[in-house]
Structure 1
């Protein structure tokens, strides 16, 4: 094995990959125990150390423990979820309605990670061609927090079935600030072996070898050794 001196130890590597593979979108397993402030600070610091285009660091973090605010967010979820259920019919709709897709009031802490789309000024280095890079950067902050949370034994659930305009109003966001991720955080009774949507039969994980192309779309890699590894 090549060793450049920059790689992690076997145990450190195993911990990183464990966090990646065991991270779950938690909805149903939250415990009421509060998150200790040093732990919460570590999670926020991990998120704040995400890479960002032009080092603009477009994120802010709104900690939400107010029952009143959470009830308003839950009301928006319920409205949007009812609309979403109409996208399906028959057994598929029944399955959808049986899914628990949020833990807004059950989790001890809600967190909204926002994206300030004007931070850094009119001309942010690296954002001239792809203006959405600020949104992508903020997603990396979400992922940093999520992996750090798993390492701390804390579950995270991303509630995406919310009217973003309504959420911005509830949280009193400025016009240039977008509520990118509404998250539920807390210790959990368990981390499921597989993603809940996979366990409930909604979708299965796609085979990786069918998603890897060589040089151009649709060209399968001719590296049989790599393909064999991808199939494992």
Structure 2
């Protein structure tokens, strides 16, 4: 046992946050304490990033009219996604896919322009800027759960339309709309499982040894 190991209680807290994290869609309208929000954003900002490029930007949507416009963009894409799903159209339309108008805080996570200047760790894997940004989002998600707040990641939007709406510079890219706030309760298991949309698979199906394994 290493001397640098956390206490049993601290370790349990880390694993609990991971296990109980949920992609939330149902929120209470109560505001998020600004001090807590700052802690969450600091946790996100402490994420690992390839080449220490820190490719994340967080845009708080505090204007109600702008929040409603973001919701409209998501609704437009929701309808297009339903069409693309074919026979699952009606089933999809019954799902609640976001909580944009209800959540206490609405954040857009984006990557800035001129990311091509960062070569370290990205010469053959340029998508590592997106991977790094995802790490920041996960930090925010887990710390929110530890604080008793829910978060939902919304990806149903046209990136170009959202970038234009938020006056983002050419070359920048929005990658997530995050609904953050108080919840009545956390889902006992992922909502898409509860709604019989999909079923999570066990770890064993995703761990290979030495080479790829045909499933």
Aligned with 1:177 (options 169, 172, 175): 172
Larger radius of gyration: 1
Alignment RMSD? 1.5
Contact persistence 2:113–2:170 (CA under 8 A)? no
Q: Distance in 2 between matches of 1:117 and 1:133?
A: 15
Label 1:177 to 1:88 Cα distance change in 2 as closer, same or farther (>3 A).
closer
Distance 1:183 1:19 in 2: 18
Please report how far the alpha carbon of residue 94 of structure 1 lies from its aligned counterpart in structure 2 after TM superposition.
2.2
Structure 1, gaps ≥5 residues long: 221-232
Correspondence 1:152 to 2:152 = no
Q: Could you tell me which residue of structure 1 aligns to residue 126 of structure 2?
A: 131
Q: Matches of 1:204 and 1:152 in 2, distance apart?
A: 28
Does the CA contact (< 8 Å) of 2:53 and 2:118 recur in 1?
Answer: no
Count of aligned positions: 215
* Aligned position for 1:223: none
Q: Give the Cα separation in 2 of the matches to 1:13 and 1:78.
A: 40
Corresponding residue of 1:166: 161
Matched with 1:13 is 11
Q: 1:214 maps to what in 2? A: 209
Quote the offset at 1:180 in angstroms.
1.4
TM-score, normalisation: structure 2:
0.95
1:44-123 superposed matches below 5 A = 44-90=41-87, 92-119=88-115, 122-123=117-118
Q: CA deviation at 1:67?
A: 1.1
What TM-score results when the alignment is normalised by the length of structure 1? Answer: 0.88
Unpaired runs of 5+ in structure 2?
Answer: none
- Partner residue in 2 for 1:224: none
The superposition leaves residues 160-197 of structure 1 with CA deviations (integer Å, 9 ceiling, x where unpaired) of 11111000011111112211111011010000100100
